[in-house]
Structure 1
Amino acid sequence: MSRAASYCLFAPLLLLGFLQVTLMKRFEVKDGSKICLLAEFSANFSVSYETTAKKEATVLFSLPEDADVDNRSNCNNMTAPLLVVGFGDGHSLSMNFSRHNASYKMDVLTVSCKWSDHTFFPNASSNGTLVKSSRLMDISAKMNTTYRCISDSTVHMKNVNVTLSQVRMEAFPPSNNFSKIETKCQADITPTSPATTLVTTLTPTTATPPTQNPVLGKYNVTTGNRTCLLAEMGLQLNITHVTPDNKTALKIFNIQPNLTHSDGNCSDDRASLQLADKWTKLNFVFVVNITTNKFYLKELSISTHIVSPAAGGKEFMAKNESLNYLQTTLGKSYMCHSEQTLQVNPSFSINAFELHVQPFGVNNSKYATAEECQMDKDNMLIPIIVGAALAGLVLVVLIAYLIGRKRSHAGYQTI
């Protein structure tokens, strides 16, 4: 059987529930004879697309045998390695790494697919290219150690899911092979640690009943006599934790603006907003992307005792420094009336209601022109489409009525 035929048969077999056999491959990025990045992993993809019949199709496939290091891979002067794994007819999986003091981390994972490759995407309606990126990864380790994760780890993006497994990675290895000392991912840590129970314990999940929508809070950050950040939002926090009897529980609670103190600081390219009450501290950090002339929410962290005593009296903490939410053009504000979920990590997320924020370029303590989120645009589009359809229907009925009247009089003549 040809390789193309095997690809075409692969996705239907997966959908029927057959056991998926994935290929683990090793990739090296070099600068001359010096290796700046070693990676060994298997990858499974789930990609949704539109067919020529205007229907949505989903294909499942693994990183194929022909996957290899693309010539776009480079070491960037041994400071920020980029691995581009090419496969098929122009598809790729890219990983950007960076060094932070005594550690390294994966910053961005990007998937690029060409719809014109009908081996992978039969009957695709487009001949363009799909490019999706995510910063929601927790792949990091200390220098001179190997990051290792045998467990599956799935990155969710719009229309694309990527599941990595049997992972070994090391940026800036001291030799041309993996270091013997390893940093294990959270999912692989043995159940001796309470933190791992959340991942490995197969016990029923309990959840506190969802609370009502949160009250809208208005916050600002002032440096000197100038307001440099404005924010309005209702915040609902979702925390997954482990109870003393090793059960997974979900705690949902709202931030109460009347009990919350706001603080923060601003610079030309970085602004932070800290919200704190008696039990909980939240920190939002916005930064500027000079290349795109946009700002976005890059960091979000929490520390809280609100889950006690169900969590055994311990403080819950979570942090993600690689987010890419609320992206907006500099000089404007970001607005979203729809409920929006900010996923920080698998254990913590925030539901934001009636969100309006501007961390840069605030003049006279007033919001600049707002850029609406895509969800609000979609919600506005639906009634417009429905209204247009109804108007079209009325027009068709009216035309049919007039034609009918004309025909009914056509057989009569005046005597």
Structure 2
Amino acid sequence: MDTPRSRRRLTPPLLACLLLLPLLLDGLVVFQTYAVDVEVKDESNVSCLYAKWMLKLSIMYEGTDEYKTSTFMLPDDVSYVGTSCGNKTSGPVLSIEFGEGNSWAIHFTKTKDTYQGVTTFTYNTGDTVLFPDAKKKERVTVSTNFPANPVKLNTAFSCGTEDAVKSDNVTQTFLNVTLQAFLQDGRLSSQQTLCDNDVTMSTSSPVVGEARSAQLVSTAGTPDLNATGPSSPPSPSVPPEEKPGTGSYTVKSGEVTCLLANLGLQLNITQQIPLIINFNPNTTLASGHCGQTTAALQLSDGSKKVDFLFAVRNATSEKFYLKGVDIAIVGSKNATLSATNHSLNYWETTLGNSYLCRKEESIIVIPGYKVNIFDLKIQPFEVEEGQFSAAQECSLDDDTILIPIIVGAALAGLIVIIVTTYLIGRRKTYAGYQTL
């Protein structure tokens, strides 16, 4: 079956029965942290397609009284029936089915030098969950190219910023994309083709110069650096303020706030030339998704972004924790710094509570890539009425343990003083007697 990795590997015999979330693998529960996070393999167990992104769908439809818009992330419960590596006449296909009669698929073709994807999205306005008051009950299909432009063969398409594609009444918004079809030797390429938005962002941002490309894949809890691109080093960064400002961020599911976060965020990268970069809360944008057992918060500030991935520990513990962190800094074309680790274990707190830590915390994503967190208060699950619940404080903030330490030290010091005084007194007493 699947190997215990943070992404799924799909092979043809398993497609008809595989569900994305949750999936029990040899006693391990693998949680979905992206709307799509798959690696498709052929019958020889060779990868032909790698796809990882978050996808938001926005559909305008006719309601009983007026036109309305249904906006949602791909739900947790999906199936991949129809996904395959293709054959001699057709390329790989990634097919997703969800809800009542809704499906989304991307078909890939290639030329001598490039590959291109075409998405086909069929939505059913008879699905009362997604379209609760639709006037017409019908299936509608729209198609569009994605990526918008052909991608050079043997390169991975990457897009950290939002990439919105509109077709008729449907807008598909892709975020944090890593995609490659027709993998050479079944391996994800270290060479990247950036989307237009990332290229524009990189040419206008002074944060990172010609940074070497680095991509990380987390395997069975141990992150390994597996790709190194152009060798020109990044330009030295201007030292930021000692401490970043604290921002307040929210994630919504429809109109309901489902995730709350207050924090100051700083990146500390020493992999090449040291970079210390603060996130500006005035320009940082928050996005993400909420689910029953997983949640994600993405903070983007210009060319840099950090994803925080949360998961519920298990069905009986009633605790959540920080499971993963993704870092990406877009430099210039084909130059990106990135690191990923989905095997972390931080910020464990009881469900229904928020997590609070006033002291600085440092999270090592991989050696050389660190995230510094300041004045943290976060709640990714069971947010009620858009307000933080009671906070469970981190051990760094717990000053109560200092009290017995201080009292014990004071008592030990007092005992030392008493014993010393007693010994000195006895020595003086002995000196007053004469030997007979």
Q: Is the pair's TM-score, using the shorter chain for normalization, greater than 0.5?
A: no
Q: Normalised by the size of structure 2, how large is the TM-score?
A: 0.43
Write 1 or 2 for the structure with the bigger share of helix.
Answer: 1
Q: Normalised by the size of structure 1, how large is the TM-score?
A: 0.45
